[in-house]
Each structure stands twice: as C-alpha cells, then as structure tokens.
Structure 1
Amino acid sequence: MAKTRDARPPGAPPALGDLYHLLVDSPWPRLLGIIATLFLIVNALFAFAYLAGGDGIENARPGSFIDAFFFSVQTMGTIGYGRLAPGTVWSNLLVTVEVITGVLGLAMVTGLVFAKFSRPTARVVFSQRAVVTPHDGVPSLMFRMANARGNRIVEARVRAVLARDETTAEGETMRRFHDLALVRDRNPLFALTWTAIHPITATSPLFGATPEGLAAMGAEVVASLVGIDETVSQTIHARHTYAAADLAWGARLRDILRRLPDGRRQVDYARFHDVEPTAER
C-alpha cells in the first residue's frame, strides 16, 4: 500500500497560505536568503516604476536603472543621503508608497526574526536505531536519548507509539496507533542520557511481532519527548521516528558510560548510536 505521508489532503489551503509558519520553520540561511531576495526584487520593481515615469529623480543619470535602483534602496531604508531626490509628482507618489511598503516590511521581518530567536528548541538526540533485546528476562524495545545542551530539561516526559497499517473486519485498511507502555516515562531532571524501555509482554502491541511482519504493515515507532528548558523556563519538545528497518533485533545498545580514575562517570557520545549483538547465554 502506498503511503501518503506529508501529502496535503484535498481541499487543504496551499502552503503559501500559512506563510508565517513556513518562514518561522525555515532554517536561518533559507530565511535570510528569502528576505534578501524579496528585498532586491521589490527594489528592482520600484526602480522600473521610477523609470516608467521619466526622469523624475533629481541628480540621477537619465534612464539609469542603477541610479533608480539605489534611490529605491535609500528610500525603502529611509536613509536619504540627499544627493538623489524625487523631482516629480509621479516619483513623490512612488516614494510615499515605497516608504509605507518599507515600514511594513521592516515590521514583518523584525517579527519573524524575533519569533525565531525567542522560539524554544530542544537539542535532544535520539539513537539512530532502536533494539529489541531481553531486559530483566523480558524481551523489550529500547532506544535512548541524550540532551545535547549543557543545561537540563526538567519534568521531562517521553512517549512511544506504534503506528501500523491494519485491516478492519470490513476489509478497510487503516493507519492505527497503539501506545507503548514504558518502564519509566517521566524524568524529573534530564541532563545526560535516558534509555526508554518498553517490555514486550502479552499485552504489548509488539507481542508476537516479527521484523518481516512489521515491515509488511509499514510499522513505525514514534518517540516524542516533552519537557521544560531549565534555562528559559519554556516547554520544548523533540520527536523521532523509527521505521521497521531501524529496529535491531537480537542486539543491544552499546554501553556509553565509563568511569574516570577519580570516580566520576563520563558519557562517550562517540558510541551513542552504536549497537552490538546480544551475547548468547
């Protein structure tokens, strides 16, 4: 069955209809590139408009697009060096429109930049693979997380959900979600690492599952973490998805804690994503 993840449902508004969130979610290089591109395009359009009205810019070379463009830049930025100035009614009308455009544009760009700077983000790293291995004598699904920041996340909560395609009694295929109960789903102080463990007992949605069966159902394990950033006192969240191919059966997460000569423990993040076969006993 073909998946339509990330596809927009019929009748949904176009992506540009939610331009604010699209821009806020954009990486900094993309956002700055969009702002710079729009700035150049708008000034170029105003430059053509000034030229369309004839030689309406004092001290500008007749028909010079460069002079009209930089006059537009100075006007939109309310710089006003004094050498170039509007000299006709047409150019003064354009200056009025451009100043209003520049003020509104500056307000919107300021709002976007402030929203991105003030937006709380989590730097939580999830292990690239989850493992299915015995834990305390019970087969368990395990994955781990690490707080990549130097601060702490308080009142952290983690949740794991199994998503898979199932067929109803009427023969309809549906995407269903099943909560995976964790041994410990809350952490009052998440500073370094945290291993989430789901025992695969008779009541688990993964009971009796096989790698082939999960792959055939398009199964995914969605892990999400929510907590409060201790530095800014704001709620942050992080999410990671494990496809069926990301589950390592009969393997364990490699140990990453080691004890220093002075007795302190250190986390070896270089082995954070490593898994190794479960030792036969």
Structure 2
Amino acid sequence: MPNKFDPGFGQKYAHNTKRIINKDGTFNITRKGIRNQQFQTLVDMPGTRFVALVSAFYILVNILFAFIYMILGAEHIIFINSYHLPDFLKSFFFSMHTFTTVGFGSIYPQDPLTNFVAGMEAMLGWLFFAIATGMVYRRFSRPSARLLFSNNALISPHKNGEALMFRIVNRRPNVLMEMDARVMLAVDMDEGVRVNRRYFNLKLDTSSIHFFPLSWTIVHSIDEDSPLYKLTAEDYIHKRIEVLILIKGFDETFSQNVHLRYSYTYDEIVWNARFIRNFKSLDTGQIELDIDSVHNYETLS
C-alpha cells in the first residue's frame, strides 16, 4: 500500500461529505469570511452574464443622470434640430452623449451647473470604460483549456489484470503540448465517531505525453502496489472512493501553462467495460477524431 498524504483537503471529518472536486473543476468548499472581490467576480462570471451586467449598468447610470438633468431643468439642454422630444428623452440622450464622450454637437448644455454635472459624468464615463476594457482584456488574455472528460471512468481488463482508466480530449482547435496528468485516490475510512479520509497517489502507465492532437486514455494498472488492489464494487461504495485528477499542459496560443481539475466518484465508475476508439484514418490519409464520442464505451461479458 502506497504511503498516504494530504493534498490539501484535510483528513478528519465529523461525517461524510459530498465530492471533493465538482464536475466544473471547482472545489466543493464554501469559504466563510472571505472578502468579496468584485473585479475577480466580474472576470470569472460567464460571458453572457458579464455583457448583460455591463449593459444594465450603462443604461441605469444614464437613466440616473437623465433624472438629475431634469431636476436641474431640461430647458438648459439645447437640441440643434427642428423636432421636440419629451424632457426625459432629451435628458437621457444628452446623458448618453456625455457618458460616452461622443460629442456629435447636436446637443449641448447651456447653464454652468448643467455643464459641471456633464463634466463629472464624462469623467465617470472614462473610468467606466477604462475598467470595462481592462476586464474584457483580462477575460480574453487569460489562458484556459477546455478539456472534455469521459462521463465515466472504467474498470477494464488490462495486461492480464485490471486497470482504472478514463479519457480526455481537447474541445478547442488550439494546440496543447507537454501534457502531464496526476491522479490521486480519496478513500473515506469510517471509524464510527468520525470519518478519516486518506489519499493515495495512483501510478499511471503513461503520466505525460508530448503532443495532444487526439484523445488521451489515462490508465492506472491495478496491481499489488495499487490501493485499489482486490477491491470490489461494493468496497468502492463503502469507502466512498473518489478519483481526483489534475491535468497540466502548455497552451501554444498563449505560451503559458494551463491547469484543469476533475474527479470521478464511486458511482461514476463502470466495471468490466472498455472505451470504443473515437478516431479513424480516412482514405485521404488524414485522421478523423470524433470529439463527442469520447464518452462511448462497451460492456464486456
């Protein structure tokens, strides 16, 4: 049995917990007392939500300044045209011109106080677009990988024995190189009063590859040196086994390393099955990879 260690999740718990690593790669840990980091929150939120939030803030700020201009007197805002608008629309459009510093020249303030408020709004607009531009640049310049993990890990026949294996594939057209995989095992030992969680490194048949154009099946042979040796499916359930995965690779697009986390719990491990090959050679001499079939496997009799 390999020496146990703690990768950073703790070992002693009052009762059983949920999975350690969620399906999206986040840790199943709620950090209480941490200060809210607004910039980090905006950078990490989904793109559609970010665009909606920025757009909503822009509209609300212009509505607020429109009411301020109406309080100061919409008659102090001069339109150079022959048509007339309601005071709110006139104030709102003036606010949009001022906030974005467009300055078409067709609308302008007339009195000193309105000019002062317009100047302050223009300064706020500069700050808003500077921060928004920084966040957009941060979102696009940050390297990230999108790997697709097979839905299940498998226990398959392998080299006159068995092996735990799962499969990954790059979902993006970018080039990933120098891929490294590290796989750990988390086992819950129920001692009655408390749960003692133990961790083990799993030795891989191939822990690194230089190139990653196809799918990669990561294999751990279950031999006498494996912590999974002679364990049954019932043992996996009783010990609440979870396979923890850390993938690291070099992103050629950004010239930086990227990291991904994933895990399989005991109920996501399929016994006596093997993966179906998801690539083939064509008559043209090219190799065709079917990314969506990375999950496909067949059960063995």
Task: Tell me the TM-score normalized by structure 2.
Answer: 0.81
Candidates 163, 166, 173, aligned match of 2:186: 163
1:22 Cα deviation from its structure 2 partner = 1.7
What's the CA shift string for 1:14-56, capped at 9, x where partnerless? xxx2222222222221111111011011111111222222336
Could you tell me which residue of structure 2 aligns to residue 36 of structure 1? 55
CA contact (8 A) 2:179 2:209 kept: yes
Mapping for residues 209-224 of structure 1, pairs under 5 Å: 209-224=231-246
Could you tell me which residue of structure 2 aligns to residue 22 of structure 1? 41
Which letter maps to 2:180?
R
1:74 Cα deviation from its structure 2 partner = 0.5
Which letter maps to 2:229?
F
2:168 maps to 1:111: no
Could you tell me which residue of structure 2 aligns to residue 101 of structure 1? 124
Could you tell me which residue of structure 2 aligns to residue 58 of structure 1? 77
Matched residues in 2 for 1:38 and 1:166: separation? 51
Could you tell me which residue of structure 1 aligns to residue 109 of structure 2? 86
Could you tell me which residue of structure 1 aligns to residue 213 of structure 2? 191
Q: In structure 2, the residue corresponding to 1:238 is in which secondary structure?
A: strand
Matched residues in 1 for 2:293 and 2:224: separation? 33
1:217 Cα deviation from its structure 2 partner = 4.2
CA contact (8 A) 2:278 2:289 kept: yes
1:252 Cα deviation from its structure 2 partner = 0.9
Could you tell me which residue of structure 2 aligns to residue 200 of structure 1? 222
2:186 maps to 1:173: no
CA RMSD of aligned residues (A): 2.6
CA contact (8 A) 1:125 1:147 kept: yes
Matched residues in 1 for 2:140 and 2:286: separation? 36
Which letter maps to 1:50?
Y
2:169 maps to 1:146: yes
Q: Which has the higher contact order (CA 8 A, sep 6+)?
A: 2
1:143 Cα deviation from its structure 2 partner = 0.6
CA contact (8 A) 1:126 1:143 kept: yes
Identity of aligned residues (%): 33
- Unpaired segments ≥5 residues, structure 1: none
CA contact (8 A) 1:57 1:86 kept: yes
Matched residues in 1 for 2:63 and 2:139: separation? 28
Could you tell me which residue of structure 1 aligns to residue 18 of structure 2? 3
2:265 maps to 1:243: yes
Which letter maps to 1:173?
V
Matched residues in 2 for 1:211 and 1:114: separation? 48
Task: Tell me the TM-score normalized by structure 1.
Answer: 0.86
- Unpaired segments ≥5 residues, structure 2: 1-15, 20-26
Q: In structure 1, the residue corresponding to 2:199 is in which secondary structure?
A: strand
CA contact (8 A) 1:55 1:63 kept: no
Matched residues in 2 for 1:125 and 1:186: separation? 17
1:241 Cα deviation from its structure 2 partner = 2.2
Matched residues in 2 for 1:56 and 1:244: separation? 71
Could you tell me which residue of structure 2 aligns to residue 128 of structure 1? 151
Q: In structure 2, the residue corresponding to 1:227 is in which secondary structure?
A: strand
Q: In structure 2, the residue corresponding to 1:272 is in which secondary structure?
A: helix
Candidates 13, 33, 47, aligned match of 2:66: 47
